[in-house]
Chain A
């Protein structure tokens, strides 16, 4: 041994027990850290597996929502695509008809009918199985056959060979709330289907385009059969493509192969020489009309139904009018009437007729508007027969014989429908318009969010059907209509990549445990250094430089630390499995019930955990070695560490100043918590808590200083000796109190923070906004009359819904397009809902904040969604922006202008948009699918709604229950933190034991002296136990007091019931662990007190 390495080796060999202890500490820290990272890795891998399972081989998709295209577009596109780049397989592409419906188990299967309200019905063709499944493709189901996914099979209690009942919506191509859409309640088809089999996740059972890990309830049926049943024959609304072609290839192929009729356009040729372009959706999208009008000469036409046309005391009800078809010389603001009307009204050219018509409101209702216009011309009936032929077909109107049979989405009066002259006109002329005007005038009067053009007319001398079709293809990019392939796989993987980082989460949760392990390690190491201080002294005396001595010390500790870390990285797998077991068994809420499977750790992750631990441990060692090296050589050689540390007055002044500052801070936070308006008391809680903790620690420091300086004779008693011992090393006593106190404060705070978020939903400033029931329906509900869902209108606030990603805590993926609710701000302002008293107007007014064109203000559903789910900044000017596409596929931006102030609300994971903006942007999202309901008996109301509106796919729950579901996630986090924090505190008890042993070792001679002067060993042990109990007790008391005082406003102000049982158990366990460890070490250490310890004196 003539080298440093040799000396290091000998040191490790000789002090192997110390190094073993250090290695054990490093092992614990590394196992916890690596295990936490490994949980994160497993969650991420699980999410990745789910994302790949839900998409199968799908890479690109077009989701046309509630608009439908001809399913043959898929076939055309398939043939138009080039072979994939590998050339090995044919391009994979399929068109799917996706609807939401209700599924039930048939009554004969048992007394209880299992019902799934939000079942996703996928009408699929023979290509779907190959794209959606990662395994052997499943075959296309035939009519009245279905595949179920595992969730559907479980919920319905169905297996292969059994039957289920499907309630299938019959969506209209025309938005349900559009003025001339078919009226009445939307029909549903009911069909019994035989279950062919149950698809596993990898067989395509999990198929979904939502960036969400939750299991959908999927039912796969024959597309053509579903189309027939839902009255959308041959239609589809999803196009799915595999990875065989690029997005650009798909776009190009779609541009080449689409035909206008496939996207719902009709070209009608009239013998009079007019070619008319119409849309199955009634209105031609403005973007389409504008594009066509820019390219070719055409005449836009708008057909509407007015309530009344009158002159003087004569009038006719419910008349078709056309804008854009009046003779070219008709001045703006003037009208032409047909002969029949002129006769009826006695109108002549120049007379002014009055009109009234319905204008659709954002809320789904209508407002009557009135206008007047001079009559420019009287048109003979035969001159406008062409208008009758070219009039759009309105379901519920065009095909009935009598006006009284009209069934359209307008509030028509029975009495007026029975008007004899109008009935005669209907029978003679049908939809022939009674009044015609210029397009601009009609657009101004009758244009709405649903559109301003019902047809485009082209003269046949310049255009024929083929040419028009070609022009449309050349002019229109399908993207204008929202037909753009989205890179869904890329988006899904992106969502997974930015998912909640469970590695960081668990590392944070385990921080206490890691800190406790490092603390234990540092104490062990410092203790070891102290025991070997004379070795350091002799080396320094022999001419070693302090740096060289430190190097020696660190080199000696490095192997143990590395071995411990490497072993810890391996043990991390066990810790990760333990946490995953905890997640599945005790805290499923934390991962929204997703079964997270253990995934083998990649070597890089293990290396990362080990490296971080080595660095952390080495930093701890370096700090200790630096501190040890600061002692004078003389002290090191004399092994004299028992000297009384001086308590400096300067330190007292610092303690006093810091204490006063902390007290002021705590007082301010307390005042804010008690008197302020803030709904979230968390910041005030932590500010006051930390302030109190620092204040109490400073006070303790001052007391220790006072004890240390007290005159000796006066304090020479057992109690005096005890206090003198505590004060002997103020920094050590204070440090121990700070560590124990902070730990206890954190643990106790977490228990206390288990807020009763779900209580008092009837209060307006709660997360339920005063609405005790929250209901959703699968099928949209239109609001007519004075009741909604059979409940008085004043007790219900209906919400529009645009499905999207859940940005709440139940979705582990990063939401890309959060779900939107269309909300009437006035309805909530008038109730002062979801805000502190008097604050509702300012809050909800943010939804109508004027912003630049193309940007709309939105409110984030609650504070937690803003902070965690979306990580969004909320500000009308500088808030985070979210890119969306409207019903026509045009991009627009939502800006997070604000958020509901409570941490948790019924709107968690969503954005709120004013209803006015919602209907403007999403006119095709008809009706309401969510409802806020005020009810004194929430449970009964919810049950009644579920019973009576099952057909709509009603799911009504008491608001408290919905909030409870959201809060389950936070509750699970808190529970996890509590367990891991508690474990950390327990490990900290080990640290306290080491510190106790260290203190006792320093004072061996002192105890021997007591023995020599006549104290019994028992008395000495008792005194030492009392002293060490005081040392630990001070920390526990300070931590408890700070947390208790900080919690007080929370308890008193929120009025929430608080379960003290958990807190009592945790506190008792911590106190027990600390006291037992300290007392046990004391008893063990002072089992025998050798008088030989005096010899060195």
Chain B
């Protein structure tokens, strides 16, 4: 594989505002290989989440390119992007976004639903394994309302991993957790990175957590700089 897993070149993103549009990303370059991890830090409102959304094809850049697995996402249609997200990407958000009507197991299986019956049956096994791996054994039939914040977030991580993604994007996953839970979750993500040889990008305010992910990039005034 001679191309990076994720490659961002000259990405610009603006939001409409008066009197002039607000440029939150101003020529971002970034790349990441499989098995690598990086943390994006920066002040509030600097565009960290925007950058992560662009990496995860949840948004489109105004200019520049985002290439995933060597493919330019700009030329992909909505269906192809959905397929890409479904098969190769995993998301974890600050709020766990678990469906309240579904159990832990069901929430984890949500990304599998668009696939065929066979895939769904195979995923069941993986989901149970992930539940065990996330330390949620015995909680598979519980609903989000019956879980702690950390358990919810671990369920969200399991959901992100169910399709065995190549890239895991986590937007302040520890933001809503206490220090202990946050630390445990960060450790879990790193373990998973190593176990699954997947790339991980995490957006966080917590420097200590960021440093655990190896490469730390600071986003400020639309520019991304790598901390040594």
Chain B proximity mask over A172-201: 1 for CB below 8 Å, otherwise 0: 000000000000000000000000000000
Q: In the assembly, what is the distance between CA of A458 and CA of B85, in Å? A: 108
Q: Is A1 an interface residue (CB 8 A)?
A: yes
Q: Which of B34-42, B61-69, B98-106, B207-215 contacts A (4 or more CB under 8 A)?
A: B98-106
State which residues 166-184 of B face A: CB under 8 Å: none
Contact B113 A544 (CB under 8 A): yes
Q: In the assembly, what is the distance between CA of A830 and CA of B1, in Å? A: 104
Known: A538-B99, A544-B113, A637-B97. A2 touches B124 (CB 8 A): yes
Contact B59 A543 (CB under 8 A): no
Q: In the assembly, what is the distance between CA of A14 and CA of B101, in Å? A: 5
Chain B proximity mask over A1-38: 1 for CB below 8 Å, otherwise 0: 11110110011011100000000000000000000000
Interface residues on B, range: 35 or more
Q: Is B9 an interface residue (CB 8 A)?
A: no
Q: Is B58 an interface residue (CB 8 A)?
A: yes
Q: In the assembly, what is the distance between CA of A158 and CA of B82, in Å? A: 85
Known: A538-B99, A541-B85, A544-B86. A1 touches B106 (CB 8 A): yes
CB of B95, distance to nearest CB on chain A (Å): 8
Q: Is B159 an interface residue (CB 8 A)?
A: yes
Contact A634 B58 (CB under 8 A): yes
Residues of B within 8 A of A15 (CB): 101
Contact B85 A542 (CB under 8 A): yes
Contact A541 B100 (CB under 8 A): no
Contact B83 A637 (CB under 8 A): no
Q: In the assembly, what is the distance between CA of A860 and CA of B95, in Å? A: 74
Known: A2-B120, A537-B97. A543 touches B79 (CB 8 A): no
Q: Is B112 an interface residue (CB 8 A)?
A: yes
Most chain A beta-carbon contacts within 10 A, residue among B56, B101, B102, B163? B101
Contact B53 A3 (CB under 8 A): no
Contact B85 A2 (CB under 8 A): no
Contact B113 A2 (CB under 8 A): yes
Known: A10-B106, A633-B53. A545 touches B100 (CB 8 A): no
Known: A3-B120, A632-B59. A542 touches B111 (CB 8 A): yes
Most chain A beta-carbon contacts within 10 A, residue among B50, B87, B93, B113? B113
Q: Is B16 an interface residue (CB 8 A)?
A: yes
Contact A2 B114 (CB under 8 A): no
Q: Which of A3, A535, A541, A545 contacts B99 (CB 8 A)?
A: A535
Contact A7 B58 (CB under 8 A): no
Contact A543 B85 (CB under 8 A): yes
Contact B110 A538 (CB under 8 A): yes
Closest to B90 in A: A542
Contact A541 B91 (CB under 8 A): yes
Q: Is B20 an interface residue (CB 8 A)?
A: no
Known: A538-B97, A634-B59, A637-B93. A2 touches B102 (CB 8 A): no
Q: In the assembly, what is the distance between CA of A1038 and CA of B179, in Å? A: 58
Residues of A within 8 A of B123 (CB): 2
Q: Which of A2, A11, A540, A548 contacts B112 (CB 8 A)?
A: A2
Contact B58 A548 (CB under 8 A): no
Interface residues on A, range: 20 to 34
Contact A543 B111 (CB under 8 A): yes
Q: Is B78 an interface residue (CB 8 A)?
A: yes
Q: In the assembly, what is the distance between CA of A10 and CA of B109, in Å? A: 14
Known: A2-B120, A545-B78. A633 touches B101 (CB 8 A): no
Q: In the assembly, what is the distance between CA of A684 and CA of B194, in Å? A: 79
Q: In the assembly, what is the distance between CA of A527 and CA of B114, in Å? A: 26
Q: In the assembly, what is the distance between CA of A14 and CA of B109, in Å? A: 18
Q: In the assembly, what is the distance between CA of A3 and CA of B124, in Å? A: 12
Residues of B within 8 A of A10 (CB): 99, 101-102, 106
Q: In the assembly, what is the distance between CA of A634 and CA of B97, in Å? A: 13
Known: A544-B86, A545-B78, A546-B78. A3 touches B97 (CB 8 A): no
State which residues 522-578 of A face B: CB under 8 Å: 534-535, 537-546, 548
Q: Is A646 an interface residue (CB 8 A)?
A: yes
Residues of A within 8 A of B121 (CB): 2
Contact A13 B101 (CB under 8 A): yes
Residues of A within 8 A of B112 (CB): 2
Closest to A633 in B: B58
Contact B58 A541 (CB under 8 A): yes
Main secondary structure of the interface of A (DSSP, over half): helix
Residues of B within 8 A of A545 (CB): 78-79, 82, 114
Main secondary structure of the interface of B (DSSP, over half): helix
Contact A543 B97 (CB under 8 A): no
Residues of B within 8 A of A543 (CB): 82-87, 89, 111, 114, 163
Residues of B within 8 A of A646 (CB): 16
Chain A proximity mask over B42-55: 1 for CB below 8 Å, otherwise 0: 00000001100100
Q: Which of A2, A535, A542 contacts B91 (CB 8 A)?
A: A542
Q: In the assembly, what is the distance between CA of A10 and CA of B163, in Å? A: 22
Q: In the assembly, what is the distance between CA of A940 and CA of B83, in Å? A: 90
CB of B115, distance to nearest CB on chain A (Å): 9
Residues of A within 8 A of B58 (CB): 540-541, 632-634, 637
Q: In the assembly, what is the distance between CA of A539 and CA of B82, in Å? A: 10
Q: Which of B78, B82, B113 contacts A7 (CB 8 A)?
A: B113
CB of A634, distance to nearest CB on chain B (Å): 5
Contact A534 B97 (CB under 8 A): yes
Residues of A within 8 A of B82 (CB): 540, 543-546
Residues of A within 8 A of B159 (CB): 542
Most chain B beta-carbon contacts within 10 A, residue among A540, A637, A646? A637
CB of A466, distance to nearest CB on chain B (Å): 96
Q: In the assembly, what is the distance between CA of A649 and CA of B93, in Å? A: 37
Residues of B within 8 A of A534 (CB): 95, 97
Closest to B143 in A: A14
Q: In the assembly, what is the distance between CA of A543 and CA of B112, in Å? A: 9
Q: In the assembly, what is the distance between CA of A537 and CA of B86, in Å? A: 13
Contact B124 A539 (CB under 8 A): no
Residues of B within 8 A of A548 (CB): 114
Closest to A548 in B: B114
Residues of A within 8 A of B101 (CB): 10-11, 13-15
Residues of A within 8 A of B86 (CB): 542-544
CB of B162, distance to nearest CB on chain A (Å): 9
Closest to A541 in B: B91
Residues of A within 8 A of B89 (CB): 543
Q: In the assembly, what is the distance between CA of A1057 and CA of B149, in Å? A: 72
CB of A638, distance to nearest CB on chain B (Å): 8
Q: In the assembly, what is the distance between CA of A476 and CA of B176, in Å? A: 105
Q: In the assembly, what is the distance between CA of A352 and CA of B216, in Å? A: 138
Q: In the assembly, what is the distance between CA of A548 and CA of B86, in Å? A: 13
CB of B73, distance to nearest CB on chain A (Å): 14
CB of A528, distance to nearest CB on chain B (Å): 13
Chain B proximity mask over A981-992: 1 for CB below 8 Å, otherwise 0: 000000000000
Q: In the assembly, what is the distance between CA of A819 and CA of B106, in Å? A: 75
Residues of B within 8 A of A14 (CB): 100-101
Residues of B within 8 A of A538 (CB): 93, 97, 99, 110
CB of A644, distance to nearest CB on chain B (Å): 10
CB of A725, distance to nearest CB on chain B (Å): 18
CB of A1051, distance to nearest CB on chain B (Å): 48
CB of B82, distance to nearest CB on chain A (Å): 4
Q: Which of A539, A544, A634 contacts B53 (CB 8 A)?
A: A634
Chain B proximity mask over A411-452: 1 for CB below 8 Å, otherwise 0: 000000000000000000000000000000000000000000
25 CB contacts below 8 A, A to B, read A1-B109, A3-B113, A7-B106, A7-B110, A10-B102, A11-B101, A13-B101, A15-B101, A534-B95, A535-B97, A541-B58, A542-B110, A543-B82, A543-B89, A544-B82, A545-B78, A545-B79, A633-B53, A633-B58, A634-B49, A634-B50, A634-B53, A634-B58, A637-B93, A646-B16
Known: A541-B91, A546-B82. 8 other contacts (CB 8 A): A1-B109, A3-B120, A7-B102, A7-B106, A542-B110, A543-B82, A544-B114, A634-B59
Residues of A bordering B, CB below 8 Å: 1-4, 6-7, 10-11, 13-15, 534-535, 537-546, 548, 632-634, 637, 646
The 9 closest A-B pairs by CB, nearest first: A543-B86, A14-B101, A542-B111, A543-B85, A10-B101, A633-B58, A545-B82, A538-B97, A1-B106
